[in-house]
């Protein structure tokens, strides 16, 4: 209840800058603006928060080509971080944290490697975060996870960035 109240307060009281102001601020940061966007994107990708808003924002602020590259880099870094965090936490802890997603993730990922990660990334409605954490916890090889993530995230990132561009 407290979280809901805080979210409502934020929605009513925090004023986001208009697009021109946001673009000017980021342009004023120079190359650091690109790194800030990538870092924020990676942080969001570490959590269960959908990355859709970040990709669309990338299109709004940076346009299609640059926004796509930055979004892809951000999402891959975030997914990679979640993968390694899951490796550190261990299988039992991660499966408990995945809750209702645990059975699906275990069934689809266990022993599947590259193709399993690609398939789950490309299926509509499957959030990234259970795939990230499940892959780390279930021992998907790191190079297979990273390659599958980079390749299979591209179509989604491109389409979401295009919405904002």
pLDDT digits (tens, 9 = 90+) for 45-87: 999 888 898 999 999 999 999 999 999 999 999 999 999 999 9
The Cα–Cα gap between 1 and 55 comes to 29
27, 79, 143, 164 from 30: Cα distances, Å:
5, 26, 33, 21
Q: Residue 121 pLDDT more than 80?
A: yes
pLDDT at 10: 65
Kindly indicate the confidence band of residue 19, based on its pLDDT and cuts at 50, 70 and 90.
Answer: confident
């Amino acid at each position: 209840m407290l979280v809901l109240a805080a979210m409502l307060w934020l929605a009513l009281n925090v004023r986001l800058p208009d697009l021109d102001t946001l673009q000017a601020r980021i342009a004023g940061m120079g190359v650091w603006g690109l790194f800030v966007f990538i870092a924020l994107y990676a942080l969001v990708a570490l959590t269960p928060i959908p990355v859709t808003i970040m990709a669309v924002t990338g299109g709004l602020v940076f346009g299609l080509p640059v926004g796509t590259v930055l979004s892809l880099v951000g999402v891959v870094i975030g997914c990679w971080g979640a993968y390694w965090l899951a490796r550190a936490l261990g299988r039992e802890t991660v499966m408990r944290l995945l809750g209702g997603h645990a059975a699906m993730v275990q069934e689809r990922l266990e022993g599947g490697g590259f193709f399993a990660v690609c398939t789950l990334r490309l299926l509509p409605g499957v959030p990234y975060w259970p795939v990230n954490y499940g892959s780390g916890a279930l021992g998907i090889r790191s190079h297979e996870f990273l390659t599958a993530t980079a390749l299979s995230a591209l179509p989604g990132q491109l389409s979401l960035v295009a919405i904002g561009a």
